[in-house]
Structure 1
Amino acid sequence: MTAITIRDVSDSTLAALKVKAAQSGRSLQAYLLDLVTREARTPSLADMMARLDRETQSDVDTSDILAAIDEGRERR
């Protein structure tokens, strides 16, 4: 595994992270590793939008929808 160093972390930020780690019952290292891992696994907004665009493509147009409505009304 690779080690990562983060420089120039303010004292207040470090203190807040230590508190959050302690509240979750984990060491600072375990807390930050979990945070970084979740961030790496989370798709970006652009990736989610591209997936949404791919999965919601439809060849149905307005005339198809109107025809289906008319057909449903005729069956009543």
Structure 2
Amino acid sequence: MPNVLVRDVPEEVHSALQRKAEQRHQSLQQYLSTELRHLAARRSIADVLNDVEDQRGGRVGFATAAADLDEERSAR
């Protein structure tokens, strides 16, 4: 498994991260590894917008969308 080395972390940042790790009963390495996994899995706004842009079809005008919504509401 690859390693990551981060240099020149401000003391107050290191202390805050250490406290968070201790609150979770984890080592700093365990805590940071979990947080990095979450960060890597999180999709960026650009990724989401690109996915939306890639979707084709399904475009309707405002009037059609409003009429469809009215029809759906009246059917209930």
TM (norm. structure 2) is 0.72
Larger Rg: 1
* TM-superposition CA deviations, 1:11-42 (whole Å, max 9, x none): 11110000000011111000000011110011
The residue that corresponds to 2:47 in the other structure is 47
Structure 2: distance between partners of 1:67 and 1:9: 57
Return 5+ residue gaps in structure 2 as ranges.
Answer: none
The residue that corresponds to 2:21 in the other structure is 21
The residue that corresponds to 2:12 in the other structure is 12
Q: Which runs of 4+ in 1 moved over 6 A?
A: none
TM (norm. structure 1) is 0.72
> What RMSD over aligned residues (CA atoms) do the two structures have, in Å?
2.9
Structure 1: distance between partners of 2:20 and 2:50: 34
- Report how many residues are paired: 71
The residue that corresponds to 1:2 in the other structure is 2
Residue identity over aligned pairs, in percent, reads 30
